[in-house]
A and B are shown apart, each in its own frame.
Chain A
């Protein structure tokens, strides 16, 4: 037996379409914000990497100074 299609009545169709459009806009906005956050994160990572390198260099210099100061006088 062939199934007959059943339909559901939508009373506030226009309102629904409007809300859907607004949601789409919000999603586009959220996507743009996520891209901005990703860019900020990349900058932050680069800055952290640079700080790490500087600390390593400072550590090496301190080690050198330490060696010099602790070296017995001849």
Chain B
């Protein structure tokens, strides 16, 4: 039984046709092409397209024309993570300005100290002046009293 099955497979199947070999034709068989030959080329016929030109614009005098100014672009400085570089000349300039500012600040501090000293001296002078005024007031009162007494006697 088993052998019978194998026997059927052994039957030879028909062979496929051999592949067709493309072989270049010899030059003698190629048609001759003459370049001087004027031959009209057949272009395809393009159908008419619908008219899509814009309608005629109304004439506007230059005064009536309103020029639309495009809105200004806001300059947005992006936060850059990258390091920033300054030219050595600018860097030296900044350093010079900073040292100048430092010396000016020192001068300003000295001036404030002087002003404070002057203020203290001024306060002291004002206090003594107040004392003098009080003494003058007392003396004038005394003179006034003496004169008043004198007028009573006379």
Contacts and interface: CB of A to CB of B under 8 A. Distances in A.
Interface of A: 5-11, 13-14, 65
B87 interface: yes
A11 B87 CA distance: 14
A6 B88 contact: yes
Interface of B is mostly: mixed
B83 A9 contact: yes
Contacts of B143: 65
Interface residues of B, number: 9
Contacts of B86: 7-8, 10
Contacts of A65: 143
A5 B83 contact: no
Contacts of A14: 79
B84 interface: yes
Contact of A5 (B79, B84, B88): B88
Interface in B80-94: 83-88, 91
A11 B84 CA distance: 7
A6 B83 CA distance: 15
B91 A11 contact: no
B83 A8 contact: no
A16 to B, nearest CB: 9
25 contacts: A5-B87, A5-B88, A6-B87, A6-B88, A7-B85, A7-B86, A7-B87, A7-B88, A8-B85, A8-B86, A8-B87, A8-B88, A8-B91, A9-B83, A9-B84, A9-B85, A10-B83, A10-B84, A10-B85, A10-B86, A11-B83, A13-B83, A13-B84, A14-B79, A65-B143
Contacts of A8: 85-88, 91
Contacts of B91: 8
A57 B86 CA distance: 69
Nearest to A61: B140
Contacts of A11: 83
